[in-house]
C-alpha cells in the first residue's frame, strides 16, 4: 500500500507542477496582451 501511495503522491506532484507551469505561462501571456493593449491605447491617444 505504501508503494501505491508513493506512486500516487508522485503523480499528484507531477500534475500539480504541470498545472502551476501552465498557470505561470497563462499569466505571462495575459501580461503581454495587457502590455500590448496599453501600448496600442497610448498610440491611439497620440494619433487622435
Average pLDDT, whole number, for the chain? 89
**What total number of domains does the chain contain?**
1
Q: How far apart are CA 28 and CA 21, in angstroms?
A: 11
Q: Considering the domain boundaries, does residue 46 fall inside one?
A: yes
Q: Is the pLDDT of residue 32 over 90?
A: yes
Q: How far apart are CA 39 and CA 48, in angstroms?
A: 14
pTM of the model: 0.60
Q: Is the pLDDT of residue 30 over 80?
A: yes
Q: Considering the domain boundaries, does residue 33 fall inside one?
A: yes
Q: Considering the domain boundaries, does residue 18 fall inside one?
A: no
The DSSP secondary-structure symbol of 48 reads -
Q: Considering the domain boundaries, does residue 17 fall inside one?
A: no
pLDDT on residue 45: 86
- pLDDT category at 40 given cuts 50, 70, 90 is confident
The range of the structural domain enclosing residue 41 comes to 24-48
Amino acid at each position: 500500500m505504501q508503494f501505491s501511495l508513493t506512486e500516487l503522491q508522485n503523480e499528484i506532484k507531477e500534475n500539480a507542477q504541470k498545472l502551476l507551469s501552465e498557470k505561470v505561462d497563462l499569466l505571462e501571456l495575459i501580461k503581454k496582451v495587457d502590455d500590448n493593449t496599453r501600448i496600442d491605447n497610448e498610440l491611439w491617444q497620440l494619433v487622435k
